[in-house]
Structure 1
Amino acid sequence: MNFWSLSKAKNKEGKIAIITGANVGIGYETAKGLAQVGIEVVMACRDLKKAENAKQKILKSNPEAKLVLMEIDLASLSSVRTFAENFKAKYNKLDILVNNAGVMMTPFQKTEDGLELQMAANYFGHFLLTGLLIPVLEKSFRSRVISLSSLAHRWGDIHFDNLNAEKGYDRRQFYAQSKLACLIFAYHLDKKLVKKGYDMHSYAAHPGVSNTNLMRNLPKWAKFLSPVLMPLFSQSAEKGALPILRACLDDTLNGGEYIGPSGRKQYKGHPVIVDSDYNSKDKHKAKKLWKTSEDIVDFKYFKNSETKAQAS
């Protein structure tokens, strides 16, 4: 089979991308890959010192890479708003937004906005960021939004009566909920963009089982076994980034696809279009999550959609 690889991507000189959490793991490898095809990459990170180290590491292997550092904390809605304002003050267009940053199975913690940390950092922050950046995304030809999901989306559901751990907290279930929310959002956003006549698309991607820093919050027994099991079931962060890179760069995609590894159970392998759990395709759930998210982050999408639809 003729699998997609980064070498098949066309040169994208002149295009601009934002990658959240670009200083480590999948985000870092995605930044490196996009820079390789000539894209100017805005590395949107919480820790600028770590981001600078990552930038220098990429420049060492690719001195021509165009890399810009900007600060953002996806667990803070005010930080997300500040980042969007700063980006729009500097750039008048955006071609690719990669909603990558996230945390995994963290101990219970509430953010400054009163949100459960995993839902805030993985989903709500990116929901707001995407909405705030649509005005610059629509100024680019066939722009893209890529949301990172996970195999973990199959573990859980969206518990609307416990979105922020009002009725208890299970770190595994909340991680699953956040990644299911990201996938539902990716699908539903693409439908809305098409319906409202925007020249942009939304995609989802997942890295399979990749050996990244997210594994640091695994239970002790899993950490103990990981040196033995990880080589059997996982792949490197570099290979794990390929589904995200394909979602960013493959011109044959139509919009709304979910990209993941080709191997058994989607653990590892080449980047291909994959299927997802039935929960991720529930239309009623998608509409409720969208409305709830708009209320929580205090931002309404597509305020001028009627005017746009009439103009087109």
Structure 2
Amino acid sequence: MTTNWTTTAIPDQHGRIAVVTGANTGLGFETAKALAERGASVVLAVRDTDKGERAAAQMPGDVTVQALDLTSLDSVRAAAGALRSRLGRIDLLINNAGVMYTPKRTTRDGFEMQFGTNHLGHFALTGLLLDLMLPVPGSRVVTVSSTGHRIRAAIHFDDLQWERSYSRVGAYGQSKLANLMFTYELQRRLARHGTTVAVAAHPGVSSTELARNTPAALRLPLELLAPLITQTPAMGALPSLRAATDPAVFGGQYYGPGGRFEILGHPRLVTSSPESYEVAVQQRLWAVSEELTGVTFPAPVAIS
């Protein structure tokens, strides 16, 4: 595999349609911009459409904006409906948007904010758009996780919404573990279809707005260490871009920075925590996610 994979390795994307969530800033912006520069038609699926339009104006080619608030299942359904009416197909769905370390609060549907936004919102969006991808050869669902999935690595089925005791760091870890489990279970369901695959990525430690809710006790140490342990959003976006475009990628893989502890560096194939590979937990999480969102995924047709 290529040691120092960069955007120059992205194959020509003309004729492909990519939907990138949270694409008005940070990792999502860099991901969408790189795809647009290689010729893809890109949809920026964002909560703030004014910011989305300003971001689109900085990108070349065919870049449009779609309102999407992942904290509201009504908004997710509306966005999916709008995209279905606009697009005949989707080649790439990049589930990039997210929140981190938020104070205790809930989504409009009553879910813990990080679990509801990072996992359930993307679970629902993917399920509502998947049938636009299934007929498309080479289509991919890329979901962005984090090394934070290793923190308190468990899906707390007895208190998924952290109603009894809240840890903003623990809740973030659960949501990012859920992202990986969703990817692995989705890939298992897609495996016999032969076209769409599910892949995961993480950006290492990147300098983005995502860290704005970091607890006060951690903020100063992280600010002091930042020059040594953070990379630019453009570098942080590379694992997602490789997962989305590298012809050598297989479904169920996970890409992250290649440096020590996966903090910095060019993207390579990495492994996630042992807990993330527990099939029974993945399947239980899937069933719970369908129940909570009311979204049932289309069944892929087995290839002959």
Q: Name the structure 2 match of 1:99.
A: 95
TM-score, structure 2 as length reference: 0.96
Q: Name the structure 1 match of 2:221.
A: 225
Q: Can you give the 5+ residue segments of structure 1 that lack an aligned partner in the other structure?
A: 59-63
Deviations for 1:205-229, whole angstroms, at most 9, x for unmatched residues?
0000111101110122332233320
Is residue 286 from structure 1 mapped to residue 282 from structure 2 by the alignment? Answer: yes
Secondary structure class of the residue paired with 1:57? coil
Secondary structure class of the residue paired with 2:200? strand
Is residue 34 from structure 1 mapped to residue 35 from structure 2 by the alignment? Answer: yes
Partners of 1:233 and 1:97 in 2: CA distance: 29
TM-score, structure 1 as length reference: 0.94
Alpha-carbon contact 1:73-1:79 (below 8 Å) kept = yes
Deviation at residue 198 of structure 1 after TM alignment:
4.4
Deviation at residue 57 of structure 1 after TM alignment:
2.6
Q: Name the structure 1 match of 2:130.
A: 134
Name the stretch that deviates more: 68-77 or 137-146: 137-146
Partners of 2:85 and 2:58 in 1: CA distance: 28
Structure with a larger share of its residues in helix: 1
Which amino acid letter does the alignment assign opposite residue 90 of structure 2?
L
Describe how 1:62-141 pairs up with structure 2 within 5 A: 64-141=60-137
2:178 to 166, 178, 181: 181
Alpha-carbon contact 1:193-1:201 (below 8 Å) kept = yes
Secondary structure class of the residue paired with 2:166? coil
2:251 to 255, 258, 265: 255
Deviations for 1:87-107, whole angstroms, at most 9, x for unmatched residues?
010111000000011100001
Deviations for 1:40-59, whole angstroms, at most 9, x for unmatched residues?
1100000011111212233x
Which amino acid letter does the alignment assign opposite residue 105 of structure 1?
Y
1:167 to 164, 171, 176: 164
- Identity percentage of aligned residues: 42
Deviation at residue 139 of structure 1 after TM alignment:
2.8
Alpha-carbon contact 2:31-2:241 (below 8 Å) kept = yes
Aligned CA distance change for structure 1 residues 192 and 219 (closer, same or farther; 3 Å): same
Which amino acid letter does the alignment assign opposite residue 131 of structure 1?
G
Which amino acid letter does the alignment assign opposite residue 96 of structure 1?
L
Partners of 2:219 and 2:282 in 1: CA distance: 35
Q: Name the structure 1 match of 2:195.
A: 199
Q: Name the structure 2 match of 1:61.
A: none
Alpha-carbon contact 2:115-2:172 (below 8 Å) kept = yes
Which amino acid letter does the alignment assign opposite residue 273 of structure 1?
L
Aligned-residue CA RMSD (Å): 1.3
Deviations for 1:48-88, whole angstroms, at most 9, x for unmatched residues?
11111212233xxxxx4221000000111110011011001
